[in-house]
A and B are shown apart, each in its own frame.
Chain A
Amino acid sequence: MVPFLCLLDRHSGEPVYRQIVDQVRFQVASGSLTAGDELPSTRAFGAEHGVNPMTVSKAYAELERIGVIERRPGLPSVVAAQRPEESAANVQEELRRVLRPSVTVVRQLGVEPEEAVRVLRGLLDAPDQPGD
């Protein structure tokens, strides 16, 4: 079993099961979890993170529904195999999710889209510049 990182914040407004879904999906999209990797049982995950196994089960069911994992009766759940085009789509979906709040801010600031894209490109070109 891969030890995978999951940081849950019970005091965020995000539902806990949704946080689990998002973090597993992100790790699959980023390649830190790959096809066939085993996930902990709902009980083990629950004990590790202080979450009710029922909540973990709900997250796993959602991950299965969207094709990220495969649940197997009596066996550990595993990360599902994905076709290359699916992987690409997942990466895009993750990006969209992370960038969506920025879009709202750009609109609120009344910044032209071209200007916003230029700023993003600038940040991407100088990723390690601290403190701005």
Chain B
Amino acid sequence: MNDHLPDSLVSIRQLTLTRGDKAVLDGLDWTVPRGTATGLLGRNGSGKTSLMHTLLGLIVSEEGTCTTLGQDARSLDDDANERLGFVDQHYQLIDWMRVDQHVHYVERMRARWDTDLQGRLLDAFDLRESAGLRVGALSPGARQRLSVLLALCHRPDLIVLDEPVSAQDPIFRKVVLDALRARVIEDGATLILSSHVLRDVESIVDRVAVLDGGRITIDAELDAMKESYQQWIVVGAATSSEEIAQLPFVISSERIGGALSLHVRAGEAERRELESRFSVSVEVKSLDLERLFPVLLGVSPKAVTA
């Protein structure tokens, strides 16, 4: 199904987008490999939505290039649009239609619509009972699930989701995230997801891209990040040493009682060296995405004040 696709479904070079006199995106470079699920992370106002809209061709940038599914994002053809699935932050739907009419309406626009998948998602998302209701009468959670269903049933190659589970309770959160993940595993779809809830992102992504200051500052496999960033609790005689905090692989350090807590970008070799050089003992704590994110953004504990 995706045999004609390029290795990178999105490829962005030197993209600049200004709003008023402020550069929202500022010389941004980014490549999204095929078959991966990427979490697009950034603080409020960092430009995540603008970036998503740009790669879908909904916003045209002033400078730089954006190639989506191998085509210029500013002029995607019908074939490219058929391969795209998008869930907007505000999940726009047509309120006066009944749920079943709305599903049928979108189905008729999509050549690759999979009615079997539609049936499974109607059940999983608990929307079958609501088929006869007006879309406008649905709860926010049900509306959001409907918009996810509508973005998935044509089995798109590239799925872009802006906060797709923000209105879901914990049970439906998992159901929707599992449905998204299944598209990546079963269809080899490529997925770009933004969410402030890092646990949600962590449950389905393979990669993380951090948008900060108008650029993608970090873009790597989540596994690789978890492997290279660690927290070390350093205990021993020399822990007051400012020398430790100055080591090149130390990102930040903080004193906790008699111990020194470090965020490091290091591995076994560095740990052994530190232990023998300063005669200290190091306890390694791995970082989940929740604790990794501030470290990546560099807003974690302040520099040491020993």
Contact = CB atoms under 8 A, between A and B. Distances in A.
Q: Provide the main secondary structure of the chain B interface.
A: helix
A73 interface: no
B223 A13 contact: no
Given A12-B288, A50-B181, A52-B185, 8 more contacts: A11-B199, A11-B289, A13-B286, A13-B291, A46-B185, A54-B36, A104-B283, A108-B283
Interface string A5-26: 0000011111111100000000
Contacts of A107: 235, 281
A52 B36 contact: yes
A21 B150 CA distance: 38
A47 interface: yes
A58 B36 CA distance: 14
Nearest to B37: A52
Interface of B: 35-37, 178, 181, 184-186, 199, 202-204, 206, 222-224, 226-227, 230, 235, 281-283, 285-289, 291-292
B206 A54 contact: yes
A13 B283 contact: no
A13 B185 contact: no
Counting chain A residues whose Cβ lies within 8 A of the other chain, the interface size class is 20 to 34
B202 A10 contact: yes
A17 B286 contact: no
A21 B186 CA distance: 23
B238 to A, nearest CB: 14
Interface of A: 10-18, 43, 46-47, 50-55, 58, 101, 104-105, 107-108
A49 to B, nearest CB: 9
A108 B288 contact: no
B223 A55 contact: yes
B286 A11 contact: no
15 contacts: A10-B202, A11-B203, A13-B230, A13-B288, A14-B226, A15-B222, A15-B227, A18-B223, A18-B227, A50-B178, A50-B204, A52-B36, A52-B185, A58-B223, A105-B283
Contacts of A105: 283
Given A16-B223, A104-B281, A52 B286 contact: no
B283 A53 contact: no
